[in-house]
Every structure is written in structure tokens, then in C-alpha cells.
Chain A
Amino acid sequence: MGRKLIFGFFAIVLAMSFVFISGQAMAAEKKKEGPTQFFGILIYRTGPFAAGGSGVGSGWEDFMELRNMQGGVNGIKYSWEECETAYNTARGVECYERLKDKMVLVHPLSTGITYALIPRGTKEHKVVISSGYGRADASDGSVFPWVFTTPTNYWSQNSAKIKFIGKQMGGMDKLKGLKIANLYIDIPYGQETKPMLDALGKKFGFTVRHFPVPWPGIDQKAQWLDIVRRYKADWVINRNWGVSCTVPLKEAARLRFPANRILGGWWCGSEEDVLPAGPAAKGYYTANWHGVGRNFPLIQEIVDKVYGKMKGHISFTRVGSVYWNRGVYTALINEEAMRTAHKKFGVKVLTGDEMRWGMEHLNITKERIKELGLEGFMGPVKTSCENHEGGKTVLFQQWDGKKWVKVDEIAPMTDFVWKRIKASAAKYAKEKGITPRDCSKVD
């Protein structure tokens, strides 16, 4: 019996490899349809953070599907391939290596994978975009020519958060004497903003205390007792990820801490994060960098054309959700970079260098946003050789019990943040032996 099973298994493996090889041959033949701009999508539809990965990846694919129906970008159609990383760095690198010959631009969609891809992308001339994650100092384009944090990074976000808190309290002078608790998940991602908040605290005269939550952050009772009873915080910054984003809302409700005094980061601000908390989440604020919902002409178009023809890549209920819209934003940045590069290099399938040029010369103005059918969805973005961040504002949204409502749009403290980005990037350059580019000499 055992032996038969084993032989059966080997037979299956053998059959599978035949299918695999012939399938690859077939796939090779299919590629002869005409020039397309290829994107490799590092996605995670499985694992603990599947809500984020599947949403962003699908939004991006749906957008490309729409453009392909409309005839492509200046006639160049998109093609893409998904690769499942399960938020695991080793798998993510494997995906990159598998697809790198075809693609010119990659969104790692995970901090760990970003770290692994920065040296690879720099060496192999692939644009690495870590929009709103990864290392904040990669916004300095003179040290990280191939890395973009468009539209914004964690440090800018936190400076905007402090401004937002000041505005909510009725003026920046009211920040003096305020007690802010920084509740963060105790992994490098969570710690990244600690020095930033300390510096801001010194500048504006409020106190910050840091409350680490051990990974994976399911249990935060002790931290919350500390925050509410002993520290008596006025505001709590919720810097968690995945399932640990929801826990604070429930804990706060249990201790009668008002939800509208909790301010989450943008990876803690999706429907998937607040719905499990039920009514406890009502009033909770988070940062974001794009609009939510389906009330934008472009997104309506995706709904009508892509989902109308049953060509969507995710269940229809999630269309218009935070992560799905983030995918649309991602796709849009790529496309604007393509259009910019087309203007300079002509309409063709772009190489890594040309794509990078396009990313570095992005200029998405208010008029352009309106033209795209995304008025109110996003702020203007303008990048340069030096500034790989590009975004001008951080949006703030509030959960009203049913949906996210945009409440404010705040510009980060650019000078304050950029001084630190420059210093940190210079330190990195020194350690790695990189000579920063002289941006005044680059066109």
C-alpha cells in the first residue's frame, strides 16, 4: 500500500513536470502578440497580511485591464504576471529573479523585500518603488537613484500627523504639554519613527512615550492599561500592521479611551482593520495618501468596464476599499512615469533607465488629476533628481462607522523632515561607499 502511494506520488510529480515544461513552451509562444510593457506583480494573497497584498495587487491589475481595453498607454498595452510572495522575503527575491528579465519596475510591497531589492535594483537598473513603506531616507534621490518612495514616506507622515493633532487641538501652540503615546509594533518597521517623534516633541514641547507591542501584537492589554491609566495619554499613534491594527480599537473601547483620539498610520487604515472592531472603531482617524470609495470617474469606469465584463481580479465588494484604491494609485504612478518617458524617448516599450527618467520627472498637476478623472483622489506629485518623494500632502480620514471619510489634507514639515532624510542618506552612502550624484548636473 505504502509503496503504491509512493510510486503514485512520483508519477504525479513526473506528470506535473511535463505539464510545467510544456506550459512554459506554450507561454513562450503566446508572447508574440506585439510589444507590451511588462509588470511583475509581487503580491501576497495568502499569509497574515493577505488583506493588504491582495487589495493593492488587484487594484493595480484592474487599472491595467481597463487601459488595455482602451488600447493601452499611447498604444502600448500592458502585460503582467503575478508572483505570490506570502510576505516572505526569500520568496519575494525569488519572484524578482524570476521576472526581472521582463520587468523594468518593481513594487516590493513589503519592507523586508524592499531591503533585499534596493541593491539588486540599483545594480540591475530596475526601478524599485516603495510607496509609503521601506526606508524613509530612500527619498533622497542623490544617494538612492533607483529607489522611489513616491508619494511620501513614514517620516513625512509622522510630521503631518503631529500637525494634524495640533489642528485638532486648536492650534500648534496647544501641543505644548500634550501627552502623545506612540504605540508601535516592535519590529524595525515600527521603530523607524521613534527618533522623528522625539525630535518633534522637543520642537513643539509635547511629551512622547513609546509603547512597544511584541510581534504579532494580538495581546495589547498591558500596554493599554499603561497608556490610559498610568501615562494618561491625550493622543495615541497606532503604528501597527495587519491584525495588530484592530486590537488597539477594542482595548481603547474597553478602557473608555475615545476612538477619535487614536491616529493610525496608513497601513492601519483600511476597512479590514476597522470592521472587526465593530462600533468601537467609530471616530478613529488614520493617515492615507489617496481617496477612498468609488465616487471618482476613473474608478467608476473600472467598475463599469472591467467588472461589467467580469474581468475583475478581486471580489467586487472590495472595489473602492482603501487597499484596492492604493493599487489604482500605484498603477497610476507607473503609468504617468511611462507617459513622461514616452514624451522624451518616444512611444515604445521602455527600458529600466527610461522608466527611471520618467519617474524622476513626474509632474502630476491638479489639472492632470482632473483630466484623469480622479479629482480629490490624490494630491499633486512632482519628483526630481533629488526628491524621490514627490507628494505634497498627506490625507487624513475618519471612520464614521460605515465608511472612511476624508477629513483633512496636510502638508508635512518638509524642511524638518528633509534635514533628517539627508543626514540619514549621507550616513548610508558613507557606509556603503556610494558617491552621491550631483543633482545640479543631471538633466
Chain B
Amino acid sequence: MFYRECGVLKETYRQDMAIFPIPLDRWGLGVMLVLAFLVIPFTASDYWLSSIMLPFYCFSLAALGLNFLTGYAGQVSIGHAAFMAVGAYSSLILYGRYGVPLPLSILGGGIFASAAGTIFGIPSLRIKGFYLAVSTLAAQFIIEWVLTHWQWVSGGVFGTVDAPDMYIFGWLIDTPVKKYYLVLCVLILLTVFGKNLVRGQLGRNWTAIRDMDVAAEIIGVSLFRNKLIAFAVSSFYAGVAGSLITFTYYLAANIEEFNLFLSFHLLGMIIIGGMGTVLGSFFGAGFMTLLPIFINQTLLTIMERVPSDIRANSEAIVFGGLIVFFLIVEPYGMARLWQTIKEKMRLWPFPY
């Protein structure tokens, strides 16, 4: 009744091209932004801000990056955690050792990761599918190896670079609220940029390559350029996410944080959230990072008398069960669920 296209008259091309053509969607987004910018920082406790929202935002960003590559361009990558690591280490080194200002260091982390991603993306011109997956797996191992063994990077035997205090133009960013705003601003900036990227020519090229690369080439889409750009953009996002999570959450770049498990985790996020959707990356990151904590805390209260080892394992069982459940009910991811709900709402209350 309220959520409808009927009566929304588009008078200019601009209006026709809007991301959210339906007014209610725009309102909804506005409410979400107000929530994120004004309500959450002032109502949530430090625990919520620093240990739930921060990793959630950072992983959303990383998942978004992977979604460009895997969801839009159709190139599977299981080396994304390594690109996050490149971003984390290089931004820490830029900021900590060379005194580059923080925003530029984070950007630099993204650029270095993007360079690494482009190099490892070159094989994608010749191989696809599972074979490409294996070559990105190699990227994961090679980067991990290099970062642990290159003494100059890790700065000694401990293989870790500690994050110094963060200053933006002399302003110390130390409290969870300030960190939250930093991450949120970067996230929104990159999400808007990414959304427009996939709506534009580049995104269409990617989709064409994903759906059938031979056909795409015939109609004049350069595979070489577009695939490499997909790798570059995607690892740029991963690098920025890696540097943000290290600066705000881990406080030390340690290669063990960015292992193969995390790569699979990111892949799981976009599969559950929805491949080829921007929104799905957020849903997926929420599912994979928040749900285990939620289950853990819930079990803690309802299973208080159960031995703790059973409780700890039942967390994994419930979480695994939910993944299977979601994949059976909605194989296209949670973003598709949202799409279905929206379509139903358009007809409500008079479906035919």
C-alpha cells in the first residue's frame, strides 16, 4: 500500500537512474543512516561498539570487495584474507615507520593490496572456475609466507607489527566511539562508490563476463582489462578492510589473523548474504560474525546447567545447522529474501 512505484513519476533522467526509485526505500535508508550515525554511537555500550560493530563493519567491507570479484565478475578467490593482510601490514608500516598521515596510510594499504591482487589476478585470463580458485589459493600461501619471512616487514622474530596510536591531523582516535565513526565513514564512502561502480559500465561488463565470457568478448568487452580491474578493485577493498580492522580492532598485524580460514569465511559471507548484491555483503558479514556471538550468549543463558564442553560444541552445531538451513531455503542468499519481501510488499494488501 505504501511501498509502491505507482504514482512515483520520474521527470528527469536523474530520477530514472536513482539507486532507490521508491520513496519509502530512501526513507528507510535515511533512517538506517541516522541509526548508524546518531543512535548507535550514543546508546550502545563500548562493548557493542568496539567488539561487535567494528568487526562487523570491517568484514562487511571485505565481503563487499570479494563480492565485486566473485559475485559480479564471477572469478572465485580464496586468497582474500591474504590481500587483507597486505593492506594491514602496508598501512601499519606506512603510518608507523614513515609517518604518512592516517587516511593516506589506509588508502595506501588499499593500493598495495590492490597491486598484489592484480598480480595474482593475471592467471584469471587463462584459467577459470576451480582452476582459478586453486591459483588464488596459491596467492594465500605465497603472501602468508612472504609476510612471515620478510624480516623487514614484520620487524623481528615475532612476525607482528603493532599498531601505534591513531592521529588524524593531530586528533587522537582512541575511544570506541571515535573508532566507530572512522570505520563507518570509510565504509559508507566505499559502499556508495562500489554501488555506483556496479551500476555503471564496469559493473555491466563484469556481469557480462560472469554470465558468459565468450559472449562478452564478442560484444566487445575486454576480458583482460575488466578481469584485472575486478581483481584490483576487490583487493583494494580487502586491503582497506584489513588495515581498518587492524588499526581499530586487532591493534597488531599478525599473519595468523589472516589465514585460509578467513578466506573461506569471506566466501561464506557472500554466498549466504547473496552473490552479486551489495546488500548481501552486509547481510552475510552480519550472519557470519554476529550470529556465533549471539548464539553463544543465548546458549549461555538457556543452557546454564549443561556442561560447558557440550555448550561450546552446540554453538558450532547450531551455527552450522543455520548455514545449511539458509542455503536450502534460499540458495541465492539473504539479499534475495529481502528482494522477495520487497516484491510482495509492492502488491500488498491485494496480491493477485
Residues of A within 8 A of B (CB): 2, 5-6, 9, 16-17, 19-20, 22-24, 26-27, 43-46, 54, 82-84, 86, 88-91, 93-94, 96-98, 100-101, 111-112, 115-116, 118-120, 135, 186-189, 191-195, 214-215, 313-314, 424, 427-428, 431-433
Contact = CB atoms under 8 A, between A and B. Distances in A.
B172 to A, nearest CB: 12
Contacts of B186: none
A314 B309 CA distance: 8
A135 B252 CA distance: 13
B254 A115 contact: yes
A45 B261 CA distance: 18
B156 A19 contact: no
A191 to B, nearest CB: 6
Contacts of B157: 188, 191-195, 424
Contacts of B52: 94
Contacts, number: 138
A372 B215 CA distance: 78
A90 B159 contact: no
Contact of A431 (B55, B155, B255, B298): B155
A340 to B, nearest CB: 30
B256 A188 contact: yes
B50 interface: yes
Nearest to A112: B256
B249 interface: yes
Contacts of A427: 156
Contact of B51 (A98, A111, A215): A98
B351 to A, nearest CB: 13
B198 to A, nearest CB: 27
A38 to B, nearest CB: 15
B50 A97 contact: yes
Interface of B is mostly: helix
B1 interface: no
Interface stretch (B35-43, B117-125, B223-231, B288-296): B288-296
A139 to B, nearest CB: 13
Interface of A is mostly: helix
B249 A93 contact: yes
20 contacts: A6-B330, A19-B301, A19-B302, A23-B298, A45-B313, A46-B312, A46-B313, A46-B316, A89-B254, A90-B250, A93-B250, A94-B293, A98-B51, A115-B160, A115-B254, A187-B148, A191-B157, A193-B157, A314-B309, A432-B164
B256 to A, nearest CB: 5
A338 B289 CA distance: 36
A291 B12 CA distance: 80
A20 B254 CA distance: 34
B259 A188 contact: no
B251 to A, nearest CB: 5
B174 to A, nearest CB: 8
B302 A23 contact: yes
Contacts of A195: 157
B337 interface: yes
Contacts of A5: 325, 329
